Amino acid sequence: MKFRWRKSSYSGGEGNCVEVADHGNRVLVRDTKNKAGAILRFCPDAWRRFADQVKRSLASDPTDSP
């Protein structure tokens, strides 16, 4: 089955990237560098909570300041 993968907007430029795809009532996540590797599956609510936590932690990261 083919999925419509897109690069996460929070992936960095250092090659630490993930791609996400919608699949019915699941959000799929994979490593951009290993497209044939494992795919993680999340329910939308769990993915939203995880993504929100990542966004909050990046916003409060003191190393992100100039």
Distance CA 45, CA 27 (A): 9
The boundaries of the domain holding residue 45 are 6-60
Q: What is the pTM of this model?
A: 0.72
Tell me: pLDDT of 3 over 60: yes
pLDDT one-digit tens code per residue, 30-54 = 998 888 999 999 999 999 998 899 8
Interval 4-35: pLDDT, tens: 998 876 666 666 788 999 998 999 999 988 88
pLDDT level of residue 58 (50, 70, 90 thresholds): confident
Number of domains in the chain: 1
29 lies in some domain: yes
User: What are the residues whose beta carbons fall under 8 Å from the beta carbon of 41, sequence distance 6 or more?
Assistant: 23, 26, 27, 28, 29
- Please indicate, yes or no, if residue 1 is contained in any of the structural domains: no
